[in-house]
């Protein structure tokens, strides 16, 4: 018959003396990990995010506002004059079925033109033109030859 091993000894240990672990009152097998402090969002990060959002908003707004400008016009497009100023008529592309359609583009020529050369160039491009519009700057210099649009 076999006798049970004494308390605190490993029954599977073979011939090695075992030192019992001293008993510990209320000990846990591992120490709790302290909670990590929360990372606070810094003012600098918030400021940078606001700046990026504002720049994107201005860029998108500028793109949407300039979609209908004269530089996007093509032959056959209808135009609307947004200003009564002769030096800055603020031409916009509009749908030809719109009540705002005032002019139709007969020709669009890239280049820089004076008032005299613009009229002679439009005369050569479209015999029945009535108005010439030149735009320079912003990397897009061109001439539009226009005529009143009649529905």
Question: Would you state the pLDDT for residue 91?
Answer: 86
Q: Is residue 27 part of a domain?
A: no
Domain total in the chain: 1
Q: Is residue 116 part of a domain?
A: yes
Confidence at 40, pLDDT banded by 50, 70, 90? confident
Q: Do residues 79 and 94 make contact, with C-beta atoms less than 8 angstroms apart?
A: yes
Question: Would you state the pLDDT for residue 10?
Answer: 58
Q: What is the pLDDT of residues 56-100, one digit of tens each?
A: 988 887 766 655 577 788 899 999 888 777 777 888 889 999 898
Say what the pTM is: 0.54
- Domain span at residue 119 reads 70-148
Q: Is residue 127 part of a domain?
A: yes
Q: Is the per-residue pLDDT at 147 higher than 90?
A: yes
Q: Is residue 104 part of a domain?
A: yes
Q: Is residue 86 part of a domain?
A: yes
∠ CA(82), CA(137), CA(103), 5° rounding? 30
């Amino acid at each position: 018959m076999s006798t049970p091993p004494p308390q605190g000894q490993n029954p599977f240990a073979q011939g090695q003396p075992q030192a019992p672990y001293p008993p510990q009152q209320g000990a846990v097998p591992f120490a709790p990990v302290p909670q990590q402090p929360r990372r606070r969002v810094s003012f600098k990060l918030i400021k940078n995010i606001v700046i990026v959002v504002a720049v994107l908003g201005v860029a998108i707004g500028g793109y949407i506002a300039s979609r209908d400008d004269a530089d996007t016009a093509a032959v056959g497009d209808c135009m609307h004059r947004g200003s009564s100023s002769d030096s800055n008529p603020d031409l916009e592309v509009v749908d030809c079925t719109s009540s705002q359609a005032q002019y139709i583009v007969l020709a669009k020529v890239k280049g820089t033109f004076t008032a005299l050369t613009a009229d002679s160039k439009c005369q050569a491009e479209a015999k029945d033109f009535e108005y010439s519009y030149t735009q320079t700057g912003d990397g897009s210099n061109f001439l539009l030859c226009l005529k009143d649009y009649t529905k």
